[in-house]
Structure formats: structure tokens, C-alpha cells
Structure 1
Amino acid sequence: MPSLFETDIRKLKGVGEKRAALFAKLGAPTVGDLLRLYPRDYQDWSEVTPISEAGIDEVCVVRGEVASPPIEQRIRGGKLMHRCTVTDGVSNMKLTFFNNRYIPSLLKEGETYLFRGRIGASGRTASMVSPEFAPADRSAEIVPIYPATQGLTSRSVAQAVRSAMALLPDTLEDPLPGEIREQYKLCYLGYALENVHFPKTMEDLEIARRRLVFEEFLVLQLGLMEIKSGSRQENLHPIPGGFPEEFTRLLPFKLTGAQQRAVTEGVKDMSGPSTMNRLVQGDVGSGKTAVAAALCWPVIKAGQQAALMAPTEILAAQHYKSLSGLLEPAGVRCGLLTGGAGAEHKRVREGIRSGEIELAIGTHALISEKVEFHELGLVITDEQHRFGVKQRMALAQKGASPHMLVMSATPIPRTLALMAYGDLDVSVLDELPPGRQEIATYLIGPDKRGRAFGYVRKFLDEGRQGYLVCPLIEGDESGMMSLEEYLSRVREAFPGVEVAALHGRMKPAEKEQVMAGFAKGDTRLLVATTVVEVGMDVPNAAIMLIENAERYGLSQLHQLRGRIGRGKFQSACILISAARNPESVERLKVFKSTNDGFAIADADLKLRGPGDFFGQRQHGLPQLKIASMSMDMELLKEAQKCARRIYRSGALEGCDYRLLRGEIRRLFEKTGGGRLAL
């Protein structure tokens, strides 16, 4: 099908310049792209359910005769409502429609229609509110629902897909060789495309979807393996092997077994024939920064520089404070580079260029054109899920094939980590340093906020500090309080207590001032948005209250809770939520029940899918069109196994895999995330 990916969508009947621009907006500028624009949902009209057998809250298709003409009523606010009754000859069902003045002309008494909607109950009688309907002689079918945009409906997309299907050759070449299709019981591509777009039965759809999901996962895995192989460059910055015992003597604490293991793996990488490309992931407080410092030490002792890039100025400043405090007494010169200009900015840049600064710590400022390194041997990115692959590579390009260390405090299930960071080896810090406190977590409704404030007051009376987290800087139509309104309420509830606010729109100098005041203990309560999610390390902070907790993903809540319990004091986290949605309630109950970040990550993956780990697609992975890393976990594992076998055998280079190589190139060329020599 390669030629169709080069065929402009305007070749299809009825698609001109304007409509082509709309299709491009949906990610389908070519006919091939359109065939890979899969429906986001389906409406199954193929199975008709008798009214008496329709279960409450189920979506059903019912055949019914209109027993009485629709009656028009005006309701509150001048809105229009129509009601009528339909019957299937055995049972009746009541229908209600809102704000559709055409209902009397569309539903005729004595005529029979198909009605599709969610079954409710009106007394003992079944009901539907605003169902879709069609003439009863409509052919039983499964209707695809496509992504749409203003000016382009799902029906218009379906018509274009039908035209595109007509352009497929009778004998379509399949990217998956026959042996793979046979081994994994996968259907032929032509069948898969026909039945993912216009299935005759739900069984046909499942067969088609299974094949396309497997193919997408396989293509992604093989592409990541190719990137990983391509990133295995010759080690131009070898360091002496062996655990850096000299560094550990600088530490005021003993490394955990997990930390020692991660450091050993990293040193082995850096002393080997290829560059290190390693992810260190661990729970909040598992000691990733100590691992990073331990790996910087031998690099710097070998006469090279290291750079650590953090996503926020708060976190960069925190790293600078802890790392310079640890390393500078041992003779390692550190520098901090964040946004801005001025003499200090210029001085740090000059120190990095000359090699005087051996460890450069900063934000995205490190990848600006003005920054030059003397000899960059190690690149570290922290909170990797906030960076894209391009940003990671941009820092690496400041040197000649430096070693790469990636750190993430968002615990990721291993299967997902292999997908997200397929170009990296993985070290897991699954052991917390001794002394970390278990944090008590409570879930309450807004009506108990007063009691919660009283509980916070107890911590303040004991000399502790606390965070009060508010989701919105400014109010919106949801009716939730803005940060300013909440701040006012907090000051009223805590007279005589020094309260400050912190949010992302403040100027860097203002943020720095607020954080410094909280770190010194001058500020007792910090009212903040999720800007405190990373980088705040105040051991005296022992209480956190999170408003509208349902607004956050589990992993984000876990990061927030990780700001407390960092000292010797028993800590507590209070979640306030009025959520009634079963999924939201379930998530918050899971969070309340455990402090284990990996257990939380597994729950998040099941409940919300992988998006919550990576935010708004900043992780550099190609976008999956049909596969779901949460719903299709078993297929993902099968595809990973298949990809490893293909790659290790060298079969990918063979003629039978020519089309599969084309699919890999096509998937990855849109991300710019790696070099593929296919």
C-alpha cells in the first residue's frame, strides 16, 4: 500500500482544497493515511432487543411502532420537549426529545422505526431520552464513528473511506509476512482494513482490530529497537571501571542496595565499548539524585563535563543546591543555568565553555545556541516524561556522543517502560532509603473541609509546615475556586499564620522568593498549584491538603504527596473531593490505600491508560492510531516477543520484510525522535 501514502487525498471524489485541509487536520493528507484513520467508536444497529428484555442503563436498539403522536411541551427556560410512546406489540417504551422541533414530522403515528439509546425507566415502563432513530427497513449494520472536525462530519469521513477502499488493489501486499500471520493467528491486511471500517459483525471487527493492533505494536517495537541500536555509538568517553568508592565516602548516608545496583550498571555501561543510554526510574524519595551524582563523579574525575537538565527552575535550583553542597567541598565546580540573561548568566556560560564548570545544572537554557561545552561526557535529564526525545538529543548534541542518563520519578510499569523508553536500558530503584515515613492518606468530602483545616492546624501547632494544593489559578465555568479565592479563605481560616501562594504564572524571582521563605520556615502554609509537584524538598513539611483531588491522575497525586514525609516527622495527606463518578472514586480509593508508586502506576495504567504517565504526548513516542497500551496489554507482550525474535535473527533486513520496514519508517518519520537506517 505504499503508493497510496503518496496519493493526495484530493484524488478522491468530492475532496477539494477546503475539505483536503480538514482531512489534513485529522492527520489524513493522503489516501493511505485515510485508510489508517480508524473509527473511534461504532454504533451497532445489527441486533434488535425486545423492549421487555432491554436492561436498565444498557445501550440497545429497539424496534417500535409510534403508538401516539409526539406531544409538545414548553419547559423551564422556554426549552422545547416532545414525548411519545412506542410499542413492539408486547411492551411499551416512553421516548423524550429535547429542543428538536422537527420530531412531530419525523415520527409518524402508526409507523415503525428503530430506536437506539440508553434504556432508562419511567415508573415501571422502559424509556429512552433523545434516542437516535431510523426507518425500520434500514439494513442491519454496524456504523463506524470517525474523528470529526468542524466542517467534516463522521459520515463525510466514512464516504471518503469507502472511496479510498475502492482504490485498493485486488491483491494487496501485506507488510506482515505470512509466517508471522500464521504464527500469531492474524488476518490478511485487506480483510483487516475492510472490517475495521465497515464490519458486518462485531466478531469480524474484533478479528480485524486484533491484527491491526498487533501490527502497530510490532512496528513501534522494531522502530525503537532500531533507534536503540543506532544510539549504540562508540564510547568516546570511557571511564575506569569499578564502583566509585571514593564518591560514597562523601555521602552522609549509605546507598541502598537498589542505588548501588543502578550505579554499578551505569559505570559498567560507561566503561564499555558503547555509550551509556540508561533510564533510572524510581519512586518518590528513592534516591535518584544520589545515583546521578555517583555517575557524574567518575566522568568528572576523568576530565570531562556532566550536564543535568531539569524541567523547571524550581527543580534545577533544588538539584544545584544539593549537588553543589555535596560535590564542591570535594573540588567539583558546579554552575546553575536557567532562563534569563545578565552578567551571572554570561559568567556561567563562559565557565561551561572553558571547562571551568565541570557539572552544569539547568533548565532548557542548557540547550540554547549560546551554550557550548568544553568536553561533555555525560548528559542527565530529570523528570524525563516532561521532555521529548528531541530535547534529550539536543543536549546530547552539545558533545561528541556523550553518555546519556535519564531519570524519572514517575514509576512506570515495566511493560510500558519498554515501550516509552525502548531506546534505553532500564534500572529500577525499588527500595526506599531508611527513615522515609509512611504517609497517612485520608479521603473526605468538601463538607468536612472545616474539620480538615482543624487537622492542619494541629500540625502547625507542633511546629510543622504544610501545602494546600488548589487546581486552578483562575476560576472557570466548573465553579471551582480560583487560587486567589482559596488563598483568601485559607487566610481567614488560619489567622496569625504566615501563608504564601505559589503558581506557574509568577515571575522566576517571585517564585524563588516564596520558595526560599517556605524552605527557611518563615512561611508556614504554602497555597499552590501543581508547580510544587517536583523540586520542593522541605523536611519540615508534614501535612498536605489537595482540593478537587479527582482532577489529577494517580501518578500526579503520588508526585504531590511525595513533597511531604521527607523528614523524620509523621506526615498526612488529605484528599478533598466531591466526585461521584465511579472511576474517579475508584482511583482515589486506590491512592488512599497505598504509598507504593509502582502499585499506583499499575492501577493508573488500568484505569486511565498511558497518557497520565507522559502528559500531553511530550515523550516523543509516535502516536498510536488503534492500539491501547492499557486495553491491549497481552497483545503488546506478544508483539514485543515477536519483535525481539525478528530483530535478533536479522530477518528484518530480508526481502520478506521490505514492506514492514516501510511501515516502521513511516511511523517514526513524523516524530523526528530517532535515526532509522532502514
Structure 2
Amino acid sequence: MPSLFEMEITKLKGVGEKRAALYRKLGAPTVGDLLRLYPRAYEDWSEPTPIRDTVLNEINVVHATVVKAPTEHRVKGGMLLYKTVVTDGESDLALTFFNNRYIPSLLREGQDYVFRGKVTGSFFKREMLSPEFLPISKSLSIVPVYPATQGLTSRIISSAMQNALLLLPQTLRDPIPDALRSQYRLCHLGFALEHIHFPKSEAELDVARYRLIFEEFLVLQLGLMRIKRGRKEKNLHPLPNRFPAEFEKLLPFSLTNAQRRAISEAISDMAGDSPMNRLIQGDVGSGKTAVAAALCWCVVSAGMQAAMMAPTEILAAQHFTSLSSLLEPAGIRVALLTGSVKAAEKRKLYASLEAGEIDLIIGTHALLSEGVAFRDLGLVITDEQHRFGVGQRSALAQKGTSPHFLVMSATPIPRTLALMMYGDLDISVLDELPPGRQKIETYLIDSKKRVRAFGFVQKHLDEGRQGYLICPLIEEDETGLASVKEYAGLVKDCFPHASVGILHGKMKPAEKDAVMKEFSEGALQLLVSTTVVEVGVDVPNAVIMLIENAERYGLSQLHQLRGRIGRGSFQSTCILVTDIQNEDTLKRLKLFRDTSDGFQIADADLKLRGPGDFFGQRQHGLPQLTIADMSSDLEVLKKAQECAREIMSKNVLDAEEYRGLRAEMRRLFAKTGSDNVVL
């Protein structure tokens, strides 16, 4: 539908500039975008109830005739009421509408309509307040409900949608070629669009939904695979297929079986015909850094360079500290490149890197800078991968010639979401924690018990331990929740003899580093922080964490925060504070309290919050899906992946018959802001 995606929404009948602005707010600036604005739900209008059998205080559907034209009544305060009576031939029903001047022209005396709304009143007199209604001639058994906004009701959108469907060409070109539609039993796009919006039966709706979900998954998978295929297929950096026993001798600890397995799987990839393209998933503290160090050692030992990119300066600095201490004794030259490195120092780093005098460089997005060039880049590692956009995932790899590619994530990702995000990546899971790690005790309390909880924190400080106090906001806002600085004042009053530091995202990198250094060296006993400590701070002596307003975090984020403690040999405790009484919220927090398995928590988080919000607002770089649901449409996803792999294996995506799919790919990925992704 390229032409309709170029047609402004104002071309629709009844859509002026003012209403067009509301459609743009809903993500529908064009007629094509409007047609892809699918209903969020459907109402069943198929079985009207006789008026006398309607259930009081519940939603009912009634088929009735208008007895008399609506009359206008002005009440105190200037509100206008419009009243009328309808009948089904046996009983009457009073209708009242508020401040709707169009009612007299919409409800005609003697005409038949279907009404839907809550019935109130008594056995003798029944009434509906502001019901929805449709003329019998236009009534539908299944009525779409759209994601409305102020000034744009579902009914207005529905009317515009009917007009938009009339603009579809008679011979609408389907982006999915005929042969693929036949192979995967998909209806034509024209049928799907008509019946997703105005289905005449559940069966028609199911056929339309399946087709559109399949298409959305297919377009996403093809886009992700196309990005990954930007790398050459031949392995230009082959390694010997053997476990690095020499590296293991450098370690002050023994590798777990899971770490050994992950290292072996990765080395097997790097010894193969194609470059490695692997995801290492591991719960907090599972030892991904040691796996990364082993692979860096292998690549550098073979005469190549490695690069690791982390999303924050804090995490990049921690990786630099841990990897340089592991690898420099073996003669491996490690450097750190972040945005805060001064210009003169950067120029030196650039020159050393290009000359091959740096073996491993660790950094932030600064690694993507134009001046960064390698002599022979053999391995690219990205950590906390979900925090990078789609374009950034491949940009660093493009600094070399088909390097091996390793993705690391300490955020457990449900299998369904991993399939979506990483498509054809091979996945290694570190499902075994190093020896000595203890389960973190977790408690859920309300603010009335905060003083008692602070006493518990003080007990640990008296024993020489350290702790975190997590506060959700940097500055006060209209919710009235305490800012970090205000909360730190409360903490200092409650812990008058403790040394307290403050850490938040608006601090300059040097300030953050100074606070973290003091905390990690034990100069600070308590760290009052936002979620900036979610990644990057590793202090074995920190054994207690109190999280204020715990309801404001997703389960996976809470799990990441909790993972900052329990990193030493001491028993650790996490205390969640919330005054929210919402049943669903409490159920979510209790699940977290009772569960320590990150993958179980991630699955629950996906089900509760949906894939769009799983990683927080648009951090993951994954295009927003409009109809597909990864928690319930997994089987369709698998079929779409199978189809995408078939297309890519046949190398036919650039053929003329796939032009429509390429257009859909560009349209979907344009929403990620990844301008440098060539599709």
C-alpha cells in the first residue's frame, strides 16, 4: 500500500487539520498508517436481549425502535441532557445522553437501532445512560474498539476506518507473494484489513489476525536477519578448535561447567566456516565476564584485536578493571575509550589501535566514533545488548571485516523474546552460579515498617558491611515521591554516624566514578542511588538493599538491582518498600519476593508487562509491534521465522516480487530511529 502510506490523513472525509493532529498522536499520520491501527478489543453485539430480560447494572445489547424524537433539557451548571424512549414491542427503555448536540440528528423517531450500555433503574423502569448505538442497517455482530484519545473516540475512528477501506485499490498488491501465502495458508492482505476492522464472525477475525500477525513477525525477522547478513558469510578469522587451557591458568578461580560449555561452544563457532554470531545469556553473577575474557584471550593469541562495547561508562570502566587485571599478566594490552576521555588522549588511543598496539579496547558508544579504526578486528562483544539500538548492534562490527560477534546479557531474556530480538543467533545459557553464591533473602513491607527496616540496615553497618538504598527519582515531581537528594537527607538523619554517598544518572561521569570508587573501597557505608547501580557496581561487602517505591520497577529491573548484593560470601537481604494496595501489583512483587530464578522472573515480567515494555521505554531498539504478541503468538512466530529463513536461504529478498516486503521492512525499522540500517 505504498500510495496510501503517502496519502495524508486529511484526505479522508471528515478529517480536518485539528483531527489529523489527534490521529498523528495515535501514530496514524497517513491513510495507510490508519489502516494498520488495529482494534485493541472487540465488543459482541451479536445477541440482543429483550428489554425486560436485561440484567441491571451490567452491559446489555438491546434491539429497539425510537418511540419519540430526543428532547433537550438544560440542567443546573449549564449541562445539556437529551432524553428519549425506545421499545422492543414489549417493554420500554429510557435513554439519557449528556452534552451531545448531535443526538437529535442521529436518533430518528420510528427508526430501529441496536443499543449497547449499562442498564440501570428498577424492575419497572429501566434506563441506559449514554449508550453506544448503530442503525440496524449498519449494525455489526462484532464491533471494533480502537485506542482512542481525547477528542477522538473509538466510534469516530471506526467511521474514518470505513472510509479508509473504501480507498483500498481493487487490485491491492499484497507484500507477501502468492506462493508464500499459499504455502503458509495466509489470506490476502485486502481480506485481512477489511476483516480485522469489521469482522462478520469470529472465524473471519481469526483468519485476518493470523495473517497480520504472521506478516508482522515475518517483516521483523527479515529485517533482523538482513542486518545480520550485512556481515560476510566466510570466516576470515578462524581459530583452532581447542579449549584455552593456558587462559584458565590465569584465573584465580575455577570455571563452572556452564562457563566451560559456553567457551567451548563459542570457540567451536570461531573455528567454523562462518563467523561466530552468539548470545551468552546468564543470570546476575553467573560469570559472563570470564567467558568474554577467554574469547578475547583466544583472539589476541591468534594475532587479532577485540572490542567490547558497554552501554554506560560505569559498566565499561568495571569491565576494563576486571579484564585488564585478568589479561594484562598474559601480555595483553587493554585500553578504555569513553566519552569522558580527553581529546588528546583519544587521538593517542586511535593511533595505537590502528597500529595494532592495543589488543583489546573496552568502551561505550565512543567506540562507534569516526576516528576509531582497527588493524585487524577479530571479535566484537556487546554487553547488556538490549540497551543498544538495532543500528548500533552492527555498527561496531562494521569497523572490521566480518569479525566474530558475541552478545552478552545479564538480563535474563525469555526464550520467546530472545527468538524475536536475536533471530538466528546461537544461544549459550550460563545456568550455573559460581560456588559460594547464597540465595538473597527478600522481604516486602509497607512504609510503616521503614524505621524497623532501617534498624536492620544499621545492624549490618555495625558488623562492617555496606548497603544500598534505592530511590526512584532524581528530582521531585507531581507524584510527591521523594527526590534522591531529599531522601538522602532523611537517610542521614536516620543514620547519623554512617558515611553516605549519593549516585544518580544526572551526575557527571567523573562524579559518579568518584562516588563508586569510595563505595567500592569501603569509604562509604551507604549508597543512596537511582537505578544507575542496576549495572556496573560490584561490591562483595555490600549485603543489604532497600528499594523504595518498589512498585515503580519492572520485575527484571528489580532482579538486576537485587543482583548488586549477594556477590560475596555473606548472607544478603533485599527489602522492597511499597504502600500500593493494588492486587495485581502486590501479586507481582510477591512473585519477585519468592523467586530468585532470573529466567522465571523474566517470563513473568513478559507476561505482565508485554514485550514493548519489557526492557523499559524504547531502550531495546526492537521495533514496536502493533498486533503480534510474543507471549501468546509463539507458534505463529516460529512459522514466520521458518518462512524468513527460507527467503534468506534462497537469497530472493531483492527480487521484484518481494518489493512489498522490503517496503514493510523499511517502514517498521524506521520507527527504531536506526537510520544507518540498510534494508
Alignment of 1:310-459 (within 5 A): 310-342=310-342, 343-459=344-460
The change in CA–CA distance for 1:538 and 1:101 in structure 2 (over 3 A counts) is: same
Tell me what 2:578 maps to: 577
The change in CA–CA distance for 1:56 and 1:303 in structure 2 (over 3 A counts) is: farther
Tell me what 1:473 maps to: 474
The change in CA–CA distance for 1:213 and 1:516 in structure 2 (over 3 A counts) is: same
Does the CA contact (< 8 Å) of 2:82 and 2:100 recur in 1? no
Provide the C-alpha distance between the structure 1 equivalents of 2:95 and 2:666, rounded to a whole number of angstroms. Answer: 52
Tell me what 2:500 maps to: 499
Provide the C-alpha distance between the structure 1 equivalents of 2:541 and 2:82, rounded to a whole number of angstroms. Answer: 63
Does the CA contact (< 8 Å) of 2:114 and 2:139 recur in 1? no
Q: Which moved more, 1:135-144 or 1:514-523?
A: 135-144
Q: Give the Å deviation of 1:584.
A: 1.6
Tell me what 2:605 maps to: 604
Q: Give the Å deviation of 1:610.
A: 1.5
CA deviation vs aligned residue, 1:370-411 (integer Å, no higher than 9, x gap):
333333221111111111121122222222222211111111
Q: Give the Å deviation of 1:513.
A: 1.2
Q: Is 1:565 paired with 2:536?
A: no
Tell me what 2:529 maps to: 528
Q: Give the Å deviation of 1:95.
A: 10
The change in CA–CA distance for 1:453 and 1:93 in structure 2 (over 3 A counts) is: farther
The change in CA–CA distance for 1:51 and 1:231 in structure 2 (over 3 A counts) is: farther
The change in CA–CA distance for 1:107 and 1:475 in structure 2 (over 3 A counts) is: farther
Alignment of 1:161-180 (within 5 A): 161-176=161-176
Q: Is 1:140 paired with 2:139?
A: yes
Q: Give the Å deviation of 1:415.
A: 2.5
Does the CA contact (< 8 Å) of 1:69 and 1:104 recur in 2? no
Does the CA contact (< 8 Å) of 2:414 and 2:602 recur in 1? yes
CA deviation vs aligned residue, 1:225-278 (integer Å, no higher than 9, x gap):
444444343223233331111111101111112211211122222222322222
Tell me what 1:187 maps to: 187
Does the CA contact (< 8 Å) of 1:82 and 1:103 recur in 2? no
Q: Where does the alignment leave 5 or more consecutive residues of structure 1 unmatched?
A: none
Provide the C-alpha distance between the structure 2 equivalents of 1:479 and 1:129, rounded to a whole number of angstroms. Answer: 39
Does the CA contact (< 8 Å) of 2:468 and 2:545 recur in 1? yes
After superposition, the CA RMSD in angstroms is 4.2
Provide the C-alpha distance between the structure 1 equivalents of 2:374 and 2:326, rounded to a whole number of angstroms. Answer: 23
Tell me what 1:263 maps to: 263
Does the CA contact (< 8 Å) of 2:232 and 2:402 recur in 1? no
Q: Give the Å deviation of 1:322.
A: 0.7
Provide the C-alpha distance between the structure 2 equivalents of 1:658 and 1:368, rounded to a whole number of angstroms. Answer: 34
Does the CA contact (< 8 Å) of 2:56 and 2:122 recur in 1? no
CA deviation vs aligned residue, 1:502-523 (integer Å, no higher than 9, x gap):
1000111111111111101111
Provide the C-alpha distance between the structure 2 equivalents of 1:24 and 1:425, rounded to a whole number of angstroms. Answer: 39
Does the CA contact (< 8 Å) of 2:446 and 2:579 recur in 1? yes
Q: Is 1:211 paired with 2:211?
A: yes
Alignment of 1:59-98 (within 5 A): 60-61=60-61
Counterpart of 1:301 in structure 2: which amino acid? S
Q: Which moved more, 1:562-571 or 1:399-408?
A: 399-408
Does the CA contact (< 8 Å) of 1:316 and 1:363 recur in 2? yes
Counterpart of 2:529 in structure 1: which amino acid? A
Alignment of 1:605-620 (within 5 A): 605-620=606-621
The change in CA–CA distance for 1:653 and 1:505 in structure 2 (over 3 A counts) is: closer
Provide the C-alpha distance between the structure 2 equivalents of 1:317 and 1:586, rounded to a whole number of angstroms. Answer: 37
Q: Give the Å deviation of 1:84.
A: 11
Provide the C-alpha distance between the structure 2 equivalents of 1:181 and 1:246, rounded to a whole number of angstroms. Answer: 54
Tell me what 2:637 maps to: 636
The change in CA–CA distance for 1:662 and 1:512 in structure 2 (over 3 A counts) is: closer
CA deviation vs aligned residue, 1:96-115 (integer Å, no higher than 9, x gap):
99x9698999999x999977
Tell me what 2:623 maps to: 622
The change in CA–CA distance for 1:368 and 1:175 in structure 2 (over 3 A counts) is: closer
Identity, % of aligned positions:
63
Counterpart of 2:629 in structure 1: which amino acid? S
Q: Is 1:199 paired with 2:204?
A: no
Provide the C-alpha distance between the structure 1 equivalents of 2:198 and 2:87, rounded to a whole number of angstroms. Answer: 29
Tell me what 1:489 maps to: 490
Q: Secondary structure of the equivalent of 1:614?
A: coil
Provide the C-alpha distance between the structure 1 equivalents of 2:600 and 2:431, rounded to a whole number of angstroms. Answer: 11
The change in CA–CA distance for 1:82 and 1:481 in structure 2 (over 3 A counts) is: farther
Q: Give the Å deviation of 1:205.
A: 2.8
Q: Where does the alignment leave 5 or more consecutive residues of structure 2 unmatched?
A: none
Q: Secondary structure of the equivalent of 2:396?
A: helix
Tell me what 1:291 maps to: 291
Tell me what 2:245 maps to: 245
Q: Secondary structure of the equivalent of 1:306?
A: strand
TM-score by length of 1: 0.86
The change in CA–CA distance for 1:85 and 1:359 in structure 2 (over 3 A counts) is: same
Q: Give the Å deviation of 1:327.
A: 1.1
Provide the C-alpha distance between the structure 2 equivalents of 1:522 and 1:122, rounded to a whole number of angstroms. Answer: 70
Provide the C-alpha distance between the structure 1 equivalents of 2:54 and 2:252, rounded to a whole number of angstroms. Answer: 68
The change in CA–CA distance for 1:520 and 1:44 in structure 2 (over 3 A counts) is: same
Q: Give the Å deviation of 1:423.
A: 4.8
CA deviation vs aligned residue, 1:74-100 (integer Å, no higher than 9, x gap):
8xxx99899999999999999999x96
